[in-house]
């Protein structure tokens, strides 16, 4: 694994871990069960993303929102066969599943 890739993976892992810890700490002060459930769902999603990044899986298609840019973006994803750690930087930075 290249030094740049190792650095990127380490950075992404640190970011996601920090986000999970932050949400968890915030939830420990919340009493509202609905908010707690929503927070747990957020944590689950963050852990899923962290796992996907660590496993360098293919970027999944984005769900349609009725705007044509999503269809174009998904077509680009298909053509590039991009993974979390093998994608043009800006393209990956703009990817939000």
Length in residues, the chain: 97
Residue 39 domain boundaries: 1-55
User: What are the residues facing 86 on neighbouring strands?
Assistant: 83
User: For position 77, what pLDDT does the model report?
Assistant: 83
Domains held by the chain: number: 2
Same domain, 9 and 50: yes
Same domain, 71 and 30: no
d(CA 48, CA 52) in angstroms, rounded, equals: 6
Q: What are phi and psi of 87, to 5 degrees?
A: -150, 150
Tokens of 41: 């769902």
Give the mean model confidence (pLDDT) for residues 27-36: 95
Give the mean model confidence (pLDDT) for residues 39-68: 88
Secondary structure class of 46 (helix, strand, coil): helix
Same domain, 70 and 44: no
Same domain, 47 and 83: no
Q: Binning pLDDT at 50, 70 and 90, where does residue 22 land?
A: very high
Q: Binning pLDDT at 50, 70 and 90, where does residue 85 land?
A: confident
**Cβ proximity of 49 and 82 under 8 Å:** no
């Amino acid at each position: 694994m290249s030094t740049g890739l190792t650095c990127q993976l380490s950075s992404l892992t640190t970011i996601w871990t920090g986000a999970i810890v932050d949400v968890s700490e915030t939830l420990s002060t919340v009493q509202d069960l609905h908010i707690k459930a929503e927070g747990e769902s957020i944590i689950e999603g963050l852990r899923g993303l962290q796992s996907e990044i660590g496993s360098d899986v293919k970027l999944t298609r984005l769900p349609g929102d009725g705007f044509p840019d999503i269809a174009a973006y998904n077509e680009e994803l298909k053509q590039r066969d991009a993974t979390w750690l093998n994608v043009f930087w800006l393209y990956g930075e703009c990817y939000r599943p």
